[in-house]
Protein backbone atom coordinates (compact mmCIF):
# COMPACT_ATOMS: atom_id res chain seq x y z
CA UNK A 1 0.00 0.00 0.00
CA UNK A 2 1.22 3.49 -0.84
CA UNK A 3 1.29 5.75 2.19
CA UNK A 4 4.25 8.07 1.67
CA UNK A 5 5.10 9.84 -1.60
CA UNK A 6 8.14 11.90 -2.56
CA UNK A 7 7.56 14.72 -5.04
CA UNK A 8 10.49 16.39 -6.76
CA UNK A 9 9.64 19.95 -7.78
CA UNK A 10 7.41 22.55 -6.12
CA UNK A 11 5.98 24.08 -9.27
CA UNK A 12 2.29 23.97 -10.07
CA UNK A 13 2.32 20.28 -11.01
CA UNK A 14 4.13 19.19 -7.86
CA UNK A 15 2.08 21.36 -5.50
CA UNK A 16 -1.24 20.27 -7.02
CA UNK A 17 -0.23 16.61 -6.83
CA UNK A 18 0.73 17.04 -3.18
CA UNK A 19 -2.54 18.79 -2.34
CA UNK A 20 -4.64 15.99 -3.84
CA UNK A 21 -2.57 13.25 -2.20
CA UNK A 22 -2.68 14.96 1.19
CA UNK A 23 -6.44 15.42 0.88
CA UNK A 24 -6.73 11.67 0.33
CA UNK A 25 -4.79 10.95 3.52
CA UNK A 26 -1.35 10.18 2.09
CA UNK A 27 1.85 11.70 3.42
CA UNK A 28 3.95 13.70 0.97
CA UNK A 29 7.34 15.38 1.03
CA UNK A 30 8.09 17.89 -1.73
CA UNK A 31 11.75 18.52 -2.52
CA UNK A 32 12.48 21.87 -4.18
CA UNK A 33 15.95 22.99 -5.23
CA UNK A 34 15.10 26.71 -5.06
CA UNK A 35 14.24 28.96 -2.14
CA UNK A 36 10.78 29.73 -3.44
CA UNK A 37 7.75 27.82 -4.67
CA UNK A 38 5.91 27.87 -7.95
CA UNK A 39 8.57 27.46 -10.62
CA UNK A 40 7.73 30.05 -13.28
CA UNK A 41 5.12 31.63 -11.01
CA UNK A 42 8.02 33.79 -9.97
CA UNK A 43 8.33 37.27 -8.49
CA UNK A 44 11.59 39.13 -7.89
CA UNK A 45 11.51 41.39 -4.85
CA UNK A 46 13.38 44.65 -5.40
CA UNK A 47 13.69 47.98 -3.58
CA UNK A 48 11.44 49.44 -6.29
CA UNK A 49 8.72 46.85 -5.85
CA UNK A 50 7.97 43.30 -7.02
CA UNK A 51 8.63 42.23 -10.62
CA UNK A 52 7.01 39.13 -12.10
CA UNK A 53 9.78 37.63 -14.21
CA UNK A 54 8.14 34.35 -15.17
CA UNK A 55 4.56 33.67 -16.19
CA UNK A 56 2.69 36.99 -16.48
CA UNK A 57 -0.63 35.37 -15.60
CA UNK A 58 -2.58 32.13 -15.35
CA UNK A 59 -6.11 31.09 -16.19
CA UNK A 60 -8.71 32.35 -13.75
CA UNK A 61 -9.62 28.83 -12.61
CA UNK A 62 -6.01 28.12 -11.68
CA UNK A 63 -5.79 31.37 -9.74
CA UNK A 64 -9.05 30.64 -7.93
CA UNK A 65 -7.67 27.27 -6.85
CA UNK A 66 -4.76 29.15 -5.31
CA UNK A 67 -6.87 31.22 -2.94
CA UNK A 68 -9.60 32.98 -4.87
CA UNK A 69 -8.90 36.46 -3.58
CA UNK A 70 -5.55 36.75 -5.32
CA UNK A 71 -6.76 36.91 -8.89
CA UNK A 72 -7.98 39.80 -10.97
CA UNK A 73 -8.55 40.74 -14.58
CA UNK A 74 -5.21 40.87 -16.34
CA UNK A 75 -3.90 43.57 -18.69
CA UNK A 76 -5.26 41.98 -21.88
CA UNK A 77 -8.01 39.57 -20.92
CA UNK A 78 -9.51 37.71 -18.00
CA UNK A 79 -6.40 36.29 -16.42
CA UNK A 80 -5.47 35.26 -12.95
CA UNK A 81 -2.64 37.11 -11.28
CA UNK A 82 -1.05 37.16 -7.88
CA UNK A 83 -1.10 40.31 -5.77
CA UNK A 84 1.43 41.76 -5.18
CA UNK A 85 3.15 39.20 -7.44
CA UNK A 86 2.68 35.86 -9.18
CA UNK A 87 4.57 33.97 -6.49
CA UNK A 88 1.65 34.71 -4.15
CA UNK A 89 -0.34 32.05 -5.99
CA UNK A 90 2.30 29.43 -5.28
CA UNK A 91 2.48 30.38 -1.61
CA UNK A 92 -1.27 29.86 -1.31
CA UNK A 93 -1.05 26.48 -3.03
CA UNK A 94 1.84 25.47 -0.79
CA UNK A 95 0.06 26.10 2.51
CA UNK A 96 0.01 22.97 4.63
CA UNK A 97 2.36 21.06 2.33
CA UNK A 98 5.69 19.70 3.59
CA UNK A 99 8.10 21.40 1.20
CA UNK A 100 11.81 20.88 1.80
CA UNK A 101 13.44 23.86 0.08
CA UNK A 102 16.94 24.27 -1.29
CA UNK A 103 17.34 20.51 -1.66
CA UNK A 104 18.44 19.38 -5.10
CA UNK A 105 17.65 15.72 -5.75
CA UNK A 106 20.36 14.06 -7.85
CA UNK A 107 19.39 10.38 -7.72
CA UNK A 108 16.27 8.26 -7.31
CA UNK A 109 16.91 4.61 -6.44
CA UNK A 110 14.65 1.61 -5.99
CA UNK A 111 14.95 -0.13 -2.61
CA UNK A 112 13.46 -3.22 -0.99
CA UNK A 113 10.63 -1.15 0.51
CA UNK A 114 10.17 1.51 -2.17
CA UNK A 115 12.45 4.38 -3.12
CA UNK A 116 15.26 6.46 -1.70
CA UNK A 117 16.32 9.88 -2.97
CA UNK A 118 19.83 11.30 -2.72
CA UNK A 119 20.44 15.03 -2.76
CA UNK A 120 23.38 17.15 -3.90
CA UNK A 121 24.83 17.09 -0.38
CA UNK A 122 24.83 13.24 -0.43
CA UNK A 123 21.99 13.03 2.08
CA UNK A 124 19.61 10.11 1.57
CA UNK A 125 15.85 10.51 1.98
CA UNK A 126 14.15 7.12 2.20
CA UNK A 127 10.89 5.41 3.07
CA UNK A 128 8.79 6.38 0.04
CA UNK A 129 6.49 3.92 -1.72
CA UNK A 130 6.08 6.20 -4.75
CA UNK A 131 7.91 9.12 -6.40
CA UNK A 132 6.53 11.89 -8.62
CA UNK A 133 9.03 13.85 -10.72
CA UNK A 134 7.37 17.21 -11.36
CA UNK A 135 10.36 18.92 -12.99
CA UNK A 136 11.23 19.80 -16.61
CA UNK A 137 11.48 16.77 -18.88
CA UNK A 138 15.31 16.82 -19.26
CA UNK A 139 15.71 16.98 -15.47
CA UNK A 140 13.20 14.19 -14.96
CA UNK A 141 14.98 11.99 -17.53
CA UNK A 142 18.25 12.40 -15.60
CA UNK A 143 16.57 10.91 -12.51
CA UNK A 144 14.96 7.91 -14.17
CA UNK A 145 17.92 5.55 -13.82
CA UNK A 146 17.24 2.28 -15.64
CA UNK A 147 13.67 3.17 -16.66
CA UNK A 148 14.55 3.11 -20.35
CA UNK A 149 10.96 3.17 -21.55
CA UNK A 150 10.18 6.33 -19.61
CA UNK A 151 13.40 7.99 -20.76
CA UNK A 152 12.62 7.13 -24.38
CA UNK A 153 9.20 8.79 -24.09
CA UNK A 154 10.72 11.92 -22.59
CA UNK A 155 13.33 12.14 -25.35
CA UNK A 156 10.60 13.30 -27.72
CA UNK A 157 9.71 16.29 -25.54
CA UNK A 158 11.27 19.57 -26.65
CA UNK A 159 11.47 22.66 -24.45
CA UNK A 160 12.57 26.19 -25.28
CA UNK A 161 14.59 28.52 -23.06
CA UNK A 162 13.79 32.16 -22.38
CA UNK A 163 15.80 35.13 -21.22
CA UNK A 164 14.00 37.91 -19.37
CA UNK A 165 15.11 41.42 -18.54
CA UNK A 166 13.90 43.06 -15.33
CA UNK A 167 13.82 46.87 -15.16
CA UNK A 168 12.89 49.37 -12.47
CA UNK A 169 12.71 53.16 -12.43
CA UNK A 170 12.82 55.56 -9.49
CA UNK A 171 10.98 58.15 -11.60
CA UNK A 172 8.57 57.63 -14.52
CA UNK A 173 10.41 56.72 -17.71
CA UNK A 174 7.92 58.35 -20.04
CA UNK A 175 6.98 55.02 -21.62
CA UNK A 176 3.34 54.08 -22.03
CA UNK A 177 2.30 51.62 -19.37
CA UNK A 178 0.82 49.17 -21.86
CA UNK A 179 1.94 45.68 -22.81
CA UNK A 180 4.31 46.08 -25.77
CA UNK A 181 4.69 43.62 -28.62
CA UNK A 182 8.28 43.89 -29.84
CA UNK A 183 10.42 42.49 -32.64
CA UNK A 184 13.70 40.56 -32.61
CA UNK A 185 15.63 40.12 -30.45
CA UNK A 186 12.74 40.86 -28.09
CA UNK A 187 9.24 39.40 -27.92
CA UNK A 188 7.18 41.50 -25.53
CA UNK A 189 7.44 43.82 -22.55
CA UNK A 190 4.99 43.85 -19.65
CA UNK A 191 4.80 46.78 -17.22
CA UNK A 192 3.91 45.79 -13.68
CA UNK A 193 1.81 48.96 -13.40
CA UNK A 194 -0.55 47.56 -16.03
CA UNK A 195 -1.60 44.87 -13.53
CA UNK A 196 -4.27 45.44 -10.86
CA UNK A 197 -3.05 46.03 -7.34
CA UNK A 198 0.26 47.67 -8.32
CA UNK A 199 0.99 51.04 -6.71
CA UNK A 200 4.78 51.14 -6.47
CA UNK A 201 7.25 52.61 -8.94
CA UNK A 202 7.53 51.74 -12.62
CA UNK A 203 8.82 48.20 -13.29
CA UNK A 204 9.01 46.11 -16.46
CA UNK A 205 9.59 42.52 -17.51
CA UNK A 206 11.01 42.27 -21.02
CA UNK A 207 10.91 38.84 -22.66
CA UNK A 208 13.52 37.96 -25.26
CA UNK A 209 12.54 36.01 -28.35
CA UNK A 210 12.94 32.24 -28.42
CA UNK A 211 15.53 32.47 -31.19
CA UNK A 212 17.67 34.97 -29.27
CA UNK A 213 17.33 32.97 -26.05
CA UNK A 214 18.48 29.78 -27.78
CA UNK A 215 21.43 31.49 -29.44
CA UNK A 216 22.55 33.20 -26.21
CA UNK A 217 21.57 30.54 -23.69
CA UNK A 218 24.95 30.30 -21.99
CA UNK A 219 25.60 34.02 -21.55
CA UNK A 220 26.07 35.16 -17.98
CA UNK A 221 23.20 37.17 -16.55
CA UNK A 222 24.90 40.57 -16.65
CA UNK A 223 25.94 40.18 -20.28
CA UNK A 224 22.47 39.07 -21.33
CA UNK A 225 20.86 41.94 -19.42
CA UNK A 226 23.17 44.48 -21.07
CA UNK A 227 22.37 43.27 -24.58
CA UNK A 228 18.65 43.10 -23.95
CA UNK A 229 18.60 46.56 -22.36
CA UNK A 230 20.24 48.05 -25.46
CA UNK A 231 17.63 46.36 -27.64
CA UNK A 232 14.78 47.58 -25.43
CA UNK A 233 16.06 51.16 -25.44
CA UNK A 234 16.38 51.08 -29.22
CA UNK A 235 12.91 49.59 -29.68
CA UNK A 236 11.11 52.00 -27.36
CA UNK A 237 13.15 55.19 -27.63
CA UNK A 238 13.93 55.06 -23.92
CA UNK A 239 16.70 57.54 -23.20
CA UNK A 240 17.37 57.38 -19.47
CA UNK A 241 18.99 54.32 -17.93
CA UNK A 242 16.84 52.28 -15.51
CA UNK A 243 17.68 52.31 -11.82
CA UNK A 244 17.34 48.56 -11.56
CA UNK A 245 18.52 46.10 -14.22
CA UNK A 246 18.74 42.32 -13.96
CA UNK A 247 18.62 39.34 -16.27
CA UNK A 248 17.06 35.96 -15.60
CA UNK A 249 17.44 32.80 -17.65
CA UNK A 250 14.70 30.20 -17.80
CA UNK A 251 16.50 27.20 -19.25
CA UNK A 252 13.25 25.28 -19.66
CA UNK A 253 10.68 28.03 -20.13
CA UNK A 254 7.97 26.62 -22.40
CA UNK A 255 7.32 23.31 -24.04
CA UNK A 256 7.56 23.34 -27.84
CA UNK A 257 6.76 19.66 -28.42
CA UNK A 258 4.77 18.17 -25.51
CA UNK A 259 4.59 14.56 -24.46
CA UNK A 260 0.96 14.30 -25.55
CA UNK A 261 -0.32 12.63 -22.36
CA UNK A 262 -0.52 13.74 -18.72
CA UNK A 263 2.52 11.78 -17.51
CA UNK A 264 4.75 8.76 -18.00
CA UNK A 265 4.86 5.97 -15.44
CA UNK A 266 6.86 2.82 -14.74
CA UNK A 267 5.36 -0.64 -14.93
CA UNK A 268 4.62 -0.78 -11.20
CA UNK A 269 2.84 2.57 -11.23
CA UNK A 270 5.12 3.90 -8.50
CA UNK A 271 7.46 6.23 -10.41
CA UNK A 272 5.84 9.01 -12.43
CA UNK A 273 7.06 12.05 -14.34
CA UNK A 274 4.98 14.96 -15.58
CA UNK A 275 4.45 18.70 -15.67
CA UNK A 276 3.20 21.33 -18.06
CA UNK A 277 5.53 19.86 -20.70
CA UNK A 278 3.40 16.74 -20.77
CA UNK A 279 0.31 18.51 -22.14
CA UNK A 280 1.16 22.05 -23.23
CA UNK A 281 2.62 25.42 -22.28
CA UNK A 282 -0.12 26.71 -19.96
CA UNK A 283 -0.34 26.76 -16.18
CA UNK A 284 -3.56 24.77 -16.48
CA UNK A 285 -1.56 22.05 -18.26
CA UNK A 286 0.74 21.79 -15.25
CA UNK A 287 -2.24 21.55 -12.92
CA UNK A 288 -3.87 18.86 -15.06
CA UNK A 289 -0.68 16.80 -15.16
CA UNK A 290 -0.07 17.09 -11.41
CA UNK A 291 -3.60 16.07 -10.53
CA UNK A 292 -3.53 13.19 -13.00
CA UNK A 293 -0.33 11.88 -11.41
CA UNK A 294 -1.87 12.10 -7.95
CA UNK A 295 -4.92 10.18 -9.15
CA UNK A 296 -2.70 7.48 -10.67
CA UNK A 297 -0.85 7.06 -7.39
CA UNK A 298 -4.13 6.81 -5.48
CA UNK A 299 -5.50 4.24 -7.92
CA UNK A 300 -2.30 2.23 -7.66
CA UNK A 301 -2.40 2.40 -3.88
CA UNK A 302 -5.94 1.01 -3.81
CA UNK A 303 -5.21 -1.87 -6.21
Question: pLDDT (tens digit, 9 = 90+) per residue, 14-60?
Answer: 999 999 999 999 999 999 999 989 999 999 999 999 999 998 888 87
pLDDT of 99 above 50: yes
Kindly report the average pLDDT of the chain as a whole number. Answer: 92
What dihedral do alpha carbons 230, 233, 238, 243 form, nearest 10°? -50
What is the arithmetic mean of pLDDT over 142-169? 96
pLDDT of 301 above 80: no
Exposure pattern of 7-41 as b/e (b: 16+ CB <10 Å)? bbbbbbbbbbbbbbbbeeebebbbbbbeebbbbbb
Pick the CATH number of 4-37+94-157+258-302 from 3.90.550.10, 3.30.450.70, 3.50.50.60, 3.40.50.2300: 3.50.50.60
End-to-end CA distance of the chain: 8
Query: Range(s) for CATH 3.50.50.60 in the chain?
Result: 4-37+94-157+258-302
For residue 231, the model assigns a pLDDT of 98
Query: Distance between CA 232 and CA 183 in Å, rounded?
Result: 10
What is the arithmetic mean of pLDDT over 57-82? 67
Partnered with residue 131 across adjacent β-strands are 6, 271
Say what the pTM is: 0.93
pLDDT of 68 above 60: no
Query: Range(s) for CATH 3.90.660.10 in the chain?
Result: 160-256
Lowest mean pLDDT among 155-169, 188-202, 215-229: 188-202
For residue 280, the model assigns a pLDDT of 95
For residue 134, the model assigns a pLDDT of 98
CATH no. of 160-256: 3.90.660.10
Amino acid sequence: MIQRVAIVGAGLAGLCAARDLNAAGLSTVVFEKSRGLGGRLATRRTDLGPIDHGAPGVSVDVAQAAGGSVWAEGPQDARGIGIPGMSTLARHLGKGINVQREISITDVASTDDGFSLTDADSRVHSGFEAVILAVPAPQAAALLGHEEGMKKALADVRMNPAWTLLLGFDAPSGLSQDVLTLTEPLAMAIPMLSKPGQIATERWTVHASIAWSVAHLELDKDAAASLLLKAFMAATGLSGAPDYVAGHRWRYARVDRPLGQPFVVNGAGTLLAGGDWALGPLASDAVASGRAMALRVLENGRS
